[in-house]
Chains A and B, each alone.
Chain A
Amino acid sequence: DAGITQSPRHKVTETGTPVTLRCHQTENHRYMYWYRQDPGHGLRLIHYSYGVKDTDKGEVSDGYSVSRSKTEDFLLTLESATSSQTSVYFCATRLAETDTQYFGPGTRLTVL
């Protein structure tokens, strides 16, 4: 358990508005990830970070950007939310020395 919190836990927004989701961890894990969970798809990687200011794209990165200015925080931004981005978003972290990812509680985002 990596002491991961996500905020907000629930959000409803309108198409075209910007949205930022926050992931905060207390364990000083180097690697952080953002996934989205959709029925029939399991979880799919959006972006990940391998250190402060170091990020890279995942499988479904279009429409999303990320930032990591501190080890403990990883932000996911939807610049202009669309209905197809309605999903549950999970943050995960990993110690550099292991390959196991531990997940936060998730954020349910609804884009109307």
Chain B
Amino acid sequence: AQKVTQAQTEISVVEKEDVTLDCVYETRDTTYYLFWYKQPPSGELVFLIRRNSFDEQNEISGRYSWNFQKSTSSFNFTITASQVVDSAVYFCALLMTYNDMRFGAGTRLTVKP
């Protein structure tokens, strides 16, 4: 079975705290892609990052960083020095074939001032 688990349903932090959102996936495929999307209160889905299964290099983009570990089937997302504007629902997704993308249930992050 292919699936994505985001065990943290809701997280609340105070501004400037670091926060990590967990994502664990299951697949038997050797080639796959992992994604993170952000859904702010306005409701749209914003693409954040894509990582393929052959590239385990971690990535940093400003305050955002992603840690991909095939050994533990995890693709975790860290926000450093969180800000109120980071408040959103974050989705992790797994793409096995080009047309079969499976999403996790999402993690609602609330950043309080």
Contacts and interface: CB of A to CB of B under 8 A. Distances in A.
A101 B98 CA distance: 10
A58 B6 CA distance: 22
Interface in A75-109: 88, 90, 94, 99-103, 105-106
Interface of A, secondary structure class, is strand
Contact of A99 (B43, B45, B50): B50
B55 interface: no
Given A99-B50, A99-B95, A45 B100 contact: yes
A70 to B, nearest CB: 20
A101 B43 contact: no
B103 A106 contact: no
B44 A101 contact: no
Interface in B93-113: 93, 95, 98-106
Interface residues of A, number: 23
B41 to A, nearest CB: 13
Interface residues of B, number: 22
A106 B43 contact: yes
B45 A90 contact: yes
A41 B105 contact: yes
Given A40-B105, A43-B103, A99 B44 contact: no
B91 A105 contact: no
Contacts of B33: 99
A48 B45 contact: no
A31 interface: yes
Interface string B30-73: 00010101000001110100100000000000000000000000
Contact of A103 (B45, B95, B98, B102): B45
Contacts of B103: 42-44
A92 to B, nearest CB: 8
Interface of A: 31, 33, 40-45, 48, 50, 56, 58-59, 88, 90, 94, 99-103, 105-106
